[in-house]
Amino acid sequence: MAQLRAGVKLDTGSTYVIEVADGDQRICVADYTGQPLADMPYFLEISGSEPVQGVTDGDGWTETFDASSATSGRLVVGDQIYQLTFVDLVGSAPADVQSLLNGTGWEAGPLDGDIGQQTRSALVAFQRSSTLDCTGEADDATVAALRARMGLPGDAA
CATH of the domain at 37: 2.60.40
Residues 75 and 8 in one domain: yes
Is 48 among the domain residues?
Answer: yes
Residues 98 and 144 in one domain: yes
Residues 80 and 9 in one domain: yes
Residues 116 and 73 in one domain: no
pLDDT tens for the 157 residues of the chain, in order: 233 334 343 344 444 444 444 456 777 777 766 677 889 999 998 877 889 899 989 988 888 887 766 666 788 888 777 777 665 555 567 877 887 887 777 888 877 788 899 999 999 999 999 999 999 999 989 988 988 887 666 555 4
Whole-prediction pTM: 0.50
Count of structural domains within the chain? 2
> Domain range for residue 119?
94-149
CA atoms of 65 and 7, how far apart (whole Å) = 20
Is 41 among the domain residues?
Answer: yes
